[in-house]
Amino acid sequence: MTKIYIFIKIRSKTFKNKKFNKDLAKVKRSEIMSLRILSGSLKGKKFYAPKTTLTRPITALLKKSILESCQSNIPNSLVLDLFAGSGALGIESLSRGARFVYFIDKNLPAVQCIKKNLKKLNLQSQAYTLKRSALHFLIRYKETPFDILFIDPPYTMRISEYHNLITTLHTSRVFHTTSSIFLETPTQKAQLFQKTIEALFSIQKTKKTATTSLFLLTVKKQ
């Protein structure tokens, strides 16, 4: 069973490059943060994200744990980056050899930025970007199931919305019997809906800090 952990390092700063500001004409310069690809064929390349509360860094502790656990399992995989935000997880996957990535986010600045990043990094032929809510995508998707799924909802999501997300995911066609599903949530909230996760999926691994919980989920065996 493939178990993949992907992580991205974020360095927040105001970007002043005029060329990139021109490329991202629809996103204000003061609302851009700079990121760097950590590994793979594009290691060290910069890409960018809207500087909003919807795009947030993951803790250094989780970064170290995830990077030490993955390295060589992504090549030729089909990846879903749901609540894509900056697109960091999907872009890292492509750098490490993923075959194709779907980037899904309902927020226009995020979608605009992902598209510009894919163009800048020459990854357009290996990606599909869609402005759509996560639930709508999960309900409507009927194509090839994904091998790896990254699900990183905004921390402002309500408990009832987490329950709805998990149950909708379970009845969707986005994964197959050996897919690896990575769900990141606030630790305090995770305690309130973990029973829903346990009822519908097998939790293979959990990484927790005071603020963040990362679950590796697989299909529950009958």
Which string of DSSP letters, residue by residue, matches 99-139? SEEEEEES-HHHHHHHHHHHHHTT-GGGEEEEE--HHHHHH
Residues 66, 45: contact at Cβ < 8 Å?
no
Q: 177, 188, 79, 192: which is closest to 126 by C-alpha? A: 79
Lowest-confidence range among 28-37, 70-79, 102-111, 183-192? 28-37
Confidence of residue 64 (pLDDT cuts 50, 70, 90): very low
Residue 135 pLDDT: 97
For residues 26 and 72, give the distance between their C-alpha atoms in angstroms, rounded to a whole number.
Answer: 37
Q: Indicate the average pLDDT of the chain.
A: 81
Residue 77 tokens, joined: 């995989």
The residues, ordered by sequence, that sit 6+ positions from 120 with a Cβ below 8 Å of its Cβ are: 20, 23, 47
Residues 85, 49: contact at Cβ < 8 Å?
yes
Is residue 54 pLDDT above 90, yes or no?
A: no
131-156 mean pLDDT = 95
Q: 141, 132, 20, 147: which is closest to 93 by C-alpha? A: 147
Name the pairing type of β-strands 127-131 and 100-105.
Answer: parallel
Residue 122 pLDDT: 97
Give me the residue spans of the domains in the chain: 9-219
Q: Dump pLDDT digits (tens) for 160-215.
A: 999 999 999 999 999 999 999 999 899 989 989 999 999 999 999 888 888 888 89
Q: Dump pLDDT digits (tens) for 88-135.
A: 889 989 998 999 999 999 999 899 999 999 999 999 999 999 999 999
E strand or H helix that includes residue 188: helix 187-200
Q: Which CATH class is domain 9-219?
A: alpha beta
